[in-house]
Structure 1
Amino acid sequence: MALRPASSSELLIDGKLVTGNGGTFDVMNPATEEVLGQAADATADDMDAAIAAARRAFDATDWSRDHAFRARCLRQLRDALLAHADEFRELTVAEVGCPAFLTSGPQFEGPVTDLGYFADLAENHEWTKDLGLAKPMGLKNTREVRSEGVGVVGAITPWNFPHQINFAKIGPALAAGCTVVLKPAPDTPWCAALVGKVIAEETDFPPGVINIVTSSDHSLGAQLSTDPRVDLVSFTGSTATGRKVMASAAETLKKVFLELGGKSAFIVLDDADLASACSMAAFNVVTHAGQGCAITTRLLVPREKLEEATALTRDAMSGFAAGDPTDPGTICGPLISAAQRQRVESYIELAKSEGGTIEVGGGRPADKSAGFFVEPTLISGLDNSARVAQEEIFGPVLVIIAHDGDDDAIRIANDSPYGLSGAVWGTDPDRINKVVNGVRTGTMGINGGIWYAADVPFGGYKQSGIGREMGVAGFEEYLESKAVATPA
């Protein structure tokens, strides 16, 4: 099968690859600004058909009860996608603009391989738990609790890590026995649509179990949120949009999973290896041009070491020039679109107006005549009340802020509407543990520790979201519990 479309992709609805009623829309390479081809542009009618197919597949087939079959289909999909790995890597770098090295990790290979983890959960989960004999109101009963898929899942995903986020929803939802309608971001439709092609042509997924609807129309996501046939909405994106999803879903009292924004703190204690910490902070924020919700974008350093830390971070960021994402050595690629570049540039100008100093970067690379590139940028001279320290920028922009000891660092880290991720560097285990316990955030890395894995739950505190994705906790988001009693 030739995977990459010659000109356009198709929707996957009810087991068939179909064209969208809205025609097509352009797919652009953010590194070159060239049009790669077209994606199927679905309408509300297409989304209606996809929801109907998912509802029918859940209600009228054995999909939700055949755990072994679901596991087999997930492993089929994993193996088929890996067989097309080279094509998917090329496609992902071209469409997402992500550095090529990331396709061996979270931009493709990692989340595809993780489908095996969710297949294992489908096989090994305790679907029926025996609670034994009891005498409620003096009457003998045997009781059990059954786990069942919640039903039809509407999955709405962003463009920054499309494979990782798509499969973090598809994998556990299908493993749990749900059926799915996936609405991917219009900036990266091919990454999802070509998965649909593999599903239709190389796996045994029954019609309607998984539907993939690409569209330039953002209102189709709202359609998933309001349609009474959808039982759960799983959304990853901005906090502002997450609020709208939650409000829309309230009309039909759907379950809602939200993975939203972040403004995570990288805390450096006074006993840390300062050079290593600053180098890692710089690497984190420039990776994939800073387009990650869990990237640490506030660097908190001891006040007495602020000048040294600023110099070390400036030097490190100077070595990570924005470059061609197809180059194996590139860490910082382009932003996804002209609109996103404008957003990042507006925050850099805002930092200047607030009295900040641009230590390095701050503009577009002089050697790039095309592509949505912004130089890795370090901002100093501001405190945590500045808007660039409080708001999610989603670009390669790091704000360095002084703290006055461990307690102050915890205070500053928590002085944010978000609580998604974080990091701490130091040598004293007790002090490190105090920071980890004190910062209200869903994940923390210690001295470069990597928490991302299929079995680790991911999600945030406060306005960073509701619920967890990945791990057993993420799998259980897609389950309902049914208590059953029988007279003994």
Structure 2
Amino acid sequence: MKAEKVETLGRQWIGGEWLEHRNGAVFSSVNPANGNILGHAADADVRQVQSAIDAARHTFDTTQWSSSPRLRAQVLLRFAANIAARADGLARLLTAENGKPLAVAQAEIRNCISELEYYAGLTRQIAGRSLQTSPGVHSLLQREASGVAAVITPWNAPAILLVRSLAPALAAGCTVVVKGARQTALVHTAMMECLAAVDELPHGVVNSFSESGHAGAQTLVRSPSVDVLAYTGSTSVGRQIMADGAQTLKRLCLELGGKAPCIVFGDVDVRATATSVARAATALAGQLCTAASRVLVDVRIADAFRDALTESLDSIVVGDGFDPATQMGPLIDHASCERMERLCDEASHYGDVLLPVRRPPGQDERGAFLRPGLIAVQDLSAPGAGEEVFGPLLNFETFTDAQDAIHRANFHPFGLAASVWSRDVGHAQAVAQRVRAGTVWINTHNVVLPEVEMGGLRDSGFGLQHGVDGLDLFLQTRHIYREDAA
């Protein structure tokens, strides 16, 4: 099945209006499977971004949006319903613009609906508490919206990573300015169209733009009118956001890089676990901060597991996301392919290349296709060993006992996700408790639920997404004290 031609324009949505760019500047959206131009997106300038901030500030300060939980719940449910009505077209656009297999894109759209419905339910349950500390003395602790929120989204899962921050921001009563990723600006616009079609949404509650550069994002980070900011992306950019945001003491939630280890003990079903790890390493072509990046294997089963893992990775079907047989689509661009090839080549100087990444034969050469690879670098201090991969290249390591496995898992500064694999669930639980990662899965990998919080440690950032605590960034607590008249 081939992708149909998409003729569309990414637009800015500011103050309740769709805006064409005044100077006509646009950038192209490209299908990574064949290099074809899918459409164009209006390139926002700083003036438009400032208009978006001003609209959000004005709406927050002058309307009753933040004190209308039933309205907010209704908006979230209508947003979810509009996505459901356009689900097929959204998924197909996501596959065309991002490259992921259509079934994966369809699951992402379903997850957006689930997340919105979850936060719609929480919206009407936000409550503070009151205390009487002594006769006639009362304290009211009130949970209320933080103000104007900025959300900066990445391209690898542009629909769900938009919703997971936008939904709690709206549930809390914030107004929002969103920057969509350049690579998936058309998907971002389509998602915003689903929200803009909600008649009950007041103008200026949500404002949206995309840009080819970074000036608009810097404006969001530095603006004193933006109270909180949620960012998903690289650790290096996260550090810069922290530095720039410090000037206005902005509250932040940063989900940054990852280098997720899979700890495999000697009692597992070797072939079944190797297949699962291979899938965990190639999810979204490895372009996922929680994707398996390292596999740490009990030395007693190392040879058998290495062979099974090599076979599993080599059997992954790489192709166009619209082909039902495809298990892994293209990378986002050719530069990412070249980076994977470089990392694989560099690994050969410090270890073994068990399965080199390579361009698959028979695919459109204009597409950013790359077969997954497996390297074996045992030295934790080797150059590049602690670098985030963000692609389908997995490192094979061995350990002698649980203490050695934990040491290896915690050696690098990332701490977003990990997994432990063993038939002895009690032992796996004990090991998971000692792995320094925000999420540790047991006998699975890459399971994310709307109801369950997720966040990083150390170089993987801070703050929580999903779940009840996902509201915390967008809420503040105020104390109102009262003494009764004598």
Question: TM range, normalised to the smaller chain?
Answer: over 0.9
Q: Distance between the aligned counterparts of 2:472 and 2:322, measured in 1? A: 38
> 1:271 deviation in Å?
1.8
Deviation per residue, 1:72-117 (Å, 9 max, x gap): 0010110011100111011000011111111232x22112321011
Q: Which runs of 5+ in 2 are unaligned?
A: none
Q: Distance between the aligned counterparts of 1:216 and 1:286, measured in 2? A: 28
Q: Distance between the aligned counterparts of 2:375 and 2:453, measured in 1? A: 32
Q: Distance between the aligned counterparts of 1:388 and 1:313, measured in 2? A: 22
1:61-460, aligned counterparts within 5 Å? Answer: 61-105=63-107, 107-126=108-127, 128-131=128-131, 133-135=132-134, 140-354=136-350, 356-368=351-363, 369-448=365-444, 451-460=447-456
Q: Distance between the aligned counterparts of 1:206 and 1:219, measured in 2? A: 27
CA contact (8 A) 1:145 1:483 kept: yes
CA contact (8 A) 1:384 1:401 kept: no
> 1:130 deviation in Å?
1.9
Residue number in structure 2 paired with 1:19: 20
CA contact (8 A) 2:377 2:385 kept: no
Q: Specify the code of the residue in structure 2 equivalent to 1:378.
A: L
Give me the TM-score of the superposition, normalised by structure 2.
Answer: 0.95
Secondary structure, in 3 states, of the residue corresponding to 1:108? Answer: helix
CA contact (8 A) 1:321 1:376 kept: no
Q: Distance between the aligned counterparts of 2:468 and 2:73, measured in 1? A: 15
Deviation per residue, 1:431-481 (Å, 9 max, x gap): 212211110101111112664110111111111011101111111221000
Q: Structure 1 residues 467 and 429, CA, compared in 2 at 3 Å: closer, same or farther?
A: same
> 1:35 deviation in Å?
0.4
- Out of 444-453 and 109-118, give the one that drifted further: 444-453
Secondary structure, in 3 states, of the residue corresponding to 1:402? Answer: strand
CA contact (8 A) 1:25 1:39 kept: yes
Deviation per residue, 1:24-65 (Å, 9 max, x gap): 110000111110010111000010000000000111100000
Name the Cα RMSD after superposition: 1.5
Q: Structure 1 residues 24 and 449, CA, compared in 2 at 3 Å: closer, same or farther?
A: closer
Q: Which runs of 5+ in 1 are unaligned?
A: none
CA contact (8 A) 1:179 1:210 kept: yes
- Out of 245-254 and 375-384, give the one that drifted further: 375-384
> 1:198 deviation in Å?
2.4
> 1:261 deviation in Å?
0.3
Q: Distance between the aligned counterparts of 1:219 and 1:256, measured in 2? A: 19
Give me the TM-score of the superposition, normalised by structure 1.
Answer: 0.95
Identity %: 33
Q: Distance between the aligned counterparts of 2:403 and 2:378, measured in 1? A: 19
Q: Distance between the aligned counterparts of 1:340 and 1:329, measured in 2? A: 23
Aligned residues: 478
